[in-house]
Amino acid sequence: MDPSAAAASSGSSGPALLPGPSLPAPNALVQDRLAGWISDLTTLQELTERLTRTTTLDAALHEALRAGATLVGARRGLVTLHPATGPGRDHPVTVGFGLDHADLGHIETIPQAGAGPEASGASAASGDSGISRAPGAPGAPGSSGASGAEAVQEAVPGPYGRLFDDLPPTGSRTGTAHPDVASDEGLDPRHREVAARLGYGASYAVPLETDNAGRIGAAVWLYDEAAEPTERQRHLVGLYRDHATEHLARQLELAEAREAVATLREELLPSRLPRTPGVRLAVRHRTGPLGGGDWYDALPLPEGALGLAVGGVSGSGPSAVAAMGRLRASLRAYAVMEGEDPVAVLSDLELLLRLTEPARAATALFAYCEPADRKVLLAGAGHCPPLIIGDHRVEFVETSLSAPLGMLACWEAPSVEIEPAPGETLLFYSDGLLHRTGRPMDRAFARLRTAAAGVPKAARRDPEALVEHVLRTMLPQEGHSAWDGSEDVVLLAARFE
């Protein structure tokens, strides 16, 4: 058959088409896009949940930096907070991620745009602060409003604000990228020098700002090479940033409250220990994050005597701290009036607590000391017995069993008299020290006795070294420099000469 006839008979007027590459069906494209969205949302949910589980400001800052680095594809960064109130209002709170103290010190040397008189004059004359700006930011071409220097001041003040000079002012949440720091002539030469020294080639900064919290700071992530986040990465980090800002604002409020409670508590406790001939004192006091009611006191009494006390009230927070202050002040008054009779002191305290705060319980231990004669008369109300530490004995004082204050209609228990040998130390402590070990009380008491027995002989001559050794042995993971325990801890040592 003739080919043309065959074509005519088939209804085709052109040459036959060769099979080409198959194109994905529109349904497959939609599925791929949905899969990408689901993956992004899953990642975002996991990161926000991790942030929500943080309970301290420092942990929240580190987690926000780590998550942001994951979202924008960077390895390092820093966040600085400078809220209007609370921690950071006077000095910015700054945390680095993948940056040590030396690196942060180098960043501090970057001159801030518009910081000096000459820079301010140049900025006013040219209408530019010498830095690249986000479109629409004050000082940028085609914008109106605050000058470049004012925008810098409004962005993020403080030494680390130099990395955030070109963030738009409050009211805009636009992030700013420097895709190639080495070739960006708009940056200060010192900025490029620091970038080369620290080995980063690009940066991306975002303000930490929401409508509710306002602007509380900013975060910047640093890339090892020239790079910038994609639109998808910017969108994801923007969503995460909104959640992180609200969480950080709440942590700032909590940190401010804890700071206020801690300050109040410190004001309610002795500012210094008294110097009494014949006895040397040392104390360690660590407050839990909620502010507990444990307390201590060392009070000079007439005729060269000394009153020592430890105790605690039930509950936590500002109300417990206030109750602790009232209880301690009352005990001081009773100790001055009748300190030589510890039973009378605690009986008066019991009556006061029962009449004024019937819903609150408290423990207390009061010791009337005569250092010249090395005699101690003590009584306790539901409190742990003190420990005697010497070269020839390490043992708990056998105090009579008694209920806490406020637990009975009338409290009274016999006092106990002890005579420490020269060089022996009487160690008072709060039950928080035992609870923080996470062990049953009988094992916690045994651990305390073992810790005291293990104090080196040289350290036993110094009450400061003794309490330090006991604290580190009892709580080796928490130590004493960055206390994050849930309960208060008190250690009060009196070494008799």
Identify the structural domains of the chain with CATH numbers, from first to last.
41-256 (3.30.450.40), 269-496 (3.60.40.10)
Q: What is the enclosing helix (H) or strand (E) of 104?
A: helix 101-108
The model's pLDDT over 326-344, given as tens digits with 9 standing for 90+, comes to 899 999 999 999 889 999 9
pLDDT, average across residues 214-228: 93
The model's pLDDT over 405-456, given as tens digits with 9 standing for 90+, comes to 887 666 677 889 999 999 999 999 998 888 888 788 889 999 999 999 999 9
> What tokens does 18 get?
């060769």
pLDDT, average across residues 362-373: 94
In sequence order, what are the residues at sequence separation of 6 or more whose Cβ sits closer than 8 angstroms to the Cβ of residue 223? Answer: 73, 74, 75, 200, 201, 202, 203, 204
Check pLDDT > 60 for residue 157: no
| Arithmetic mean of pLDDT over the chain | 80
For position 435, what pLDDT does the model report? 84
Q: Is 489 exposed, middle or buried (0-12, 13-18, 19+ CB in 10 A)?
A: buried
What SS3 class is residue 166?
coil
Answer whether 33's CB lies under 8 Å from 184's CB. no
Stated pTM of the model = 0.59
> What tokens does 474 get?
């009892």
Gap between the Cα atoms of 450 and 394, Å rounded: 9
Gap between the Cα atoms of 420 and 388, Å rounded: 8
> What tokens does 304 get?
């060269």
Answer whether 353's CB lies under 8 Å from 391's CB. no
Gap between the Cα atoms of 92 and 447, Å rounded: 42
Spell 85-117 as b/e; 16+ CB within 10 A means b. ebbbeeebbbbbbbbeeebbeebeebebbbbee
pLDDT, average across residues 268-273: 82
Query: DSSP assignment, residue 185?
Result: T
